[in-house]
């Protein structure tokens, strides 16, 4: 499930040939639920990164590639920044954020107008460390309740960021959901990037993540939608079979939970819940792949997988050796 940083990919233009189009990396960072995955999807015009109303939906970096007449941007959607107290999967998520913030040309910092500087502390700390130029984006401006909030929060946040030495080049108010206010943001972003060779030769390619990853994410998305507040966080997916040559494409996956009691809740009375999850996940995979799919789902217990480095690794969440120390706290 891990992806190589796209910076390692070889440039696609012959060495020595000057490029006349822009090329760069933009990391999308912020607290959980700020709308990071929503803005990525809005710009790519497709449901690449999963979005749910629950915080901490995104667990791993998701690279999304936008190629337009101006050039090519590789966006890096990241997990919501939070204080990872208990190591395990939370430490993995924060390591994903850190590695994404180490490399980009520019960071888009999404802020929910409902927030306050004290809630943004963990994000601000990482932005100080990252030493990259930042565009501060006040999202969710379609919500009436946010109008007054943003008036007060925007100058406050700009002041706090300046005091910390964070290079906020510009701030914008927008709505990722309604796709309002994206044009000035994109104009500024293109301006800030330099000409250079593309990292993805195929201008239609939208990610370097394998299809299997997106299939597992579509299943995880339905777990967030269909299960209560706690269980989705105790679930991980493994894709056991992906038969592309079958008609319809045959996919078999296992949902791993941490305890027996959770297994029962995912399956539901008479298997009703898993059936519902399977139906919705299948439809969403079919839309994503634009073809018919057979989806078989199993549920298994992998005791306390989210806290155990070996089990995390088994599920594709490879903790950095210093994972525990490298949390945002
Ligand atoms: N009203 C409104 N809702 C939004 C907007 N942007 C995102 N949302 C909603 O906010 C919730 C969280 O959106 P996500 O895109 O998953 O947020 P995220 O920052 O990726 O969250 P994590 O992955 O948990 O860190 C979803 O219910 C979105 O529909 C917006 O501009 N307006
Ligand atoms: Mg997200």
Q: What is the pLDDT of residue 12?
A: 62
Q: Show the ligand 1 pocket: residues with CB < 6 angstroms.
A: 30, 32-38, 51-53, 55-58, 79-80, 139-140, 142-143, 175-177
**Residues 302-324, mean pLDDT to the nearest whole number:** 85
- CA 20 to centroid of ligand 2, rounded, Å: 33
**Which ligand has the minimum distance to the alpha carbon of residue 54?**
1
Domains of the chain: 6-192 (3.40.50.300), 211-314 (3.30.300.20)
Instruction: Encode the chain in three state secondary structure.
Output: CCCCCHHHCCCCCCCCCCCCCEEEEEEEEECCCCCHHHHHHHHHCCCCCCCCCCCCCCCCCEEEEEEECCEEEEEEECCCCCCCCCCHHHHHHHHHHHHHHHCCCEEEEEECCCCCHHHHHHHHHHHHHHCCCEEEEECCCCCCHHHHHHHHHHHHHHHHHHHHCCCEEEEEECECCCCECHHHHHHHHHHHCCECCCCCCCCCCCCCCCHHHHHHHHHHHHHHHHCCCCHHHHCEEEEEEEECCCCCEEEEEEEEECCHHHHHHHHCHHHHHHHHHHHHHHHHHHHHHCCCEEEEEEEEECCCHHHCHHHHHHCCCCCCCCCCCCCCC
Q: Which atom of ligand 1 is nearest to the CA of 32?
A: 25
- CA 33 to centroid of ligand 1, rounded, Å: 5
Are 29 and 99 within 8 A, CB to CB? no
**Which residue minimizes the CA distance to atom 13 of ligand 1?**
35
Q: What are 65-79's pLDDT values in tens digits? A: 999 999 999 999 999
- Which has the minimum average pLDDT: 82-86, 96-100, 132-136, 163-167? 82-86
- CA 269 to centroid of ligand 2, rounded, Å: 31
Q: What is the pLDDT of residue 4?
A: 37
Q: What are 187-204's pLDDT values in tens digits? A: 999 999 999 999 999 989
- Which has the minimum average pLDDT: 125-134, 142-151, 242-251, 285-294? 142-151
Nearest to 3 by CA among 147, 159, 199, 173: 199
Q: Which residues surround ligand 2, an ion (CB under 5 A)?
A: 36-37, 57-58
Nearest to 89 by CA among 222, 258, 261: 258
**Which residue minimizes the CA distance to atom 32 of ligand 1?**
140
Per-residue pLDDT at 1 exceeds 60:
no
- CA 301 to centroid of ligand 1, rounded, Å: 30
**Which ligand has the minimum distance to the alpha carbon of residue 179?**
1
**Which residue minimizes the CA distance to atom 27 of ligand 1?**
53
- CA 34 to centroid of ligand 1, rounded, Å: 5
Are 5 and 101 within 8 A, CB to CB? no
CA pair distance 130, 203, nearest whole angstrom: 29
* Residue at token pair 């690279």: 63
pLDDT, the chain, mean:
92
CA pair distance 23, 111, nearest whole angstrom: 25
**Residues 284-303, mean pLDDT to the nearest whole number:** 97
pTM comes to: 0.92
**Which ligand has the minimum distance to the alpha carbon of residue 123?**
1
CA pair distance 125, 252, nearest whole angstrom: 41
């Amino acid at each position: 499930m891990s992806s190589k940083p796209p910076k390692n990919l070889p440039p696609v233009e012959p060495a020595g040939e000057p490029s006349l189009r822009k090329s760069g990396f933009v990391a999308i960072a912020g607290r959980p639920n700020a709308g990071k995955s929503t803005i990525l999807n809005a710009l790519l015009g497709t449901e690449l990164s999963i979005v749910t109303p629950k915080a901490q939906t995104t667990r791993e970096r998701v690279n999304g590639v936008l190629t337009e007449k101006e050039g090519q941007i590789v966006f890096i959607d990241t997990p919501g920044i939070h204080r990872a107290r208990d190591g395990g999967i939370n430490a993995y998520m924060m390591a994903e954020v850190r590695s994404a913030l180490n490399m980009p040309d520019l960071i888009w910092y999404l802020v929910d107008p409902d927030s306050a500087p004290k809630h943004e502390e963990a994000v601000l700390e990482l932005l100080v460390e990252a030493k990259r130029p930042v565009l501060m984006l006040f999202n969710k401006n379609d919500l009436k309740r946010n109008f007054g909030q943003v008036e007060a929060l925007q100058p406050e946040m700009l002041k706090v960021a300046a005091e910390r030495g964070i290079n906020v080049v510009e701030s914008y108010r927008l709505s990722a959901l309604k796709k309002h206010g994206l044009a000035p943001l994109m104009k500024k972003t293109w301006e800030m990037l330099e000409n250079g060779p593309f990292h993805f030769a195929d201008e239609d390619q939208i990610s370097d993540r394998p299809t299997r990853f997106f299939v597992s994410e579509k299943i995880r998305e339905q777990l967030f939608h269909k299960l209560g507040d706690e269980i989705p966080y105790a679930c991980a997916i493994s894709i056991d079979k992906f038969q592309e040559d079958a008609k319809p494409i045959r996919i078999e996956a296992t949902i791993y939970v941490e305890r027996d009691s959770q297994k029962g809740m995912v399956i539901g009375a008479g298997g009703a819940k898993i059936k519902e999850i399977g139906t919705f996940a299948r439809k969403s995979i079919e839309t994503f792949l634009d073809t018919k799919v057979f989806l078989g789902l199993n549920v298994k217990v992998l005791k306390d997988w989210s806290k155990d480095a070996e089990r995390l690794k088994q599920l594709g969440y490879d903790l950095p050796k210093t994972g525990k120390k490298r949390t945002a706290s």
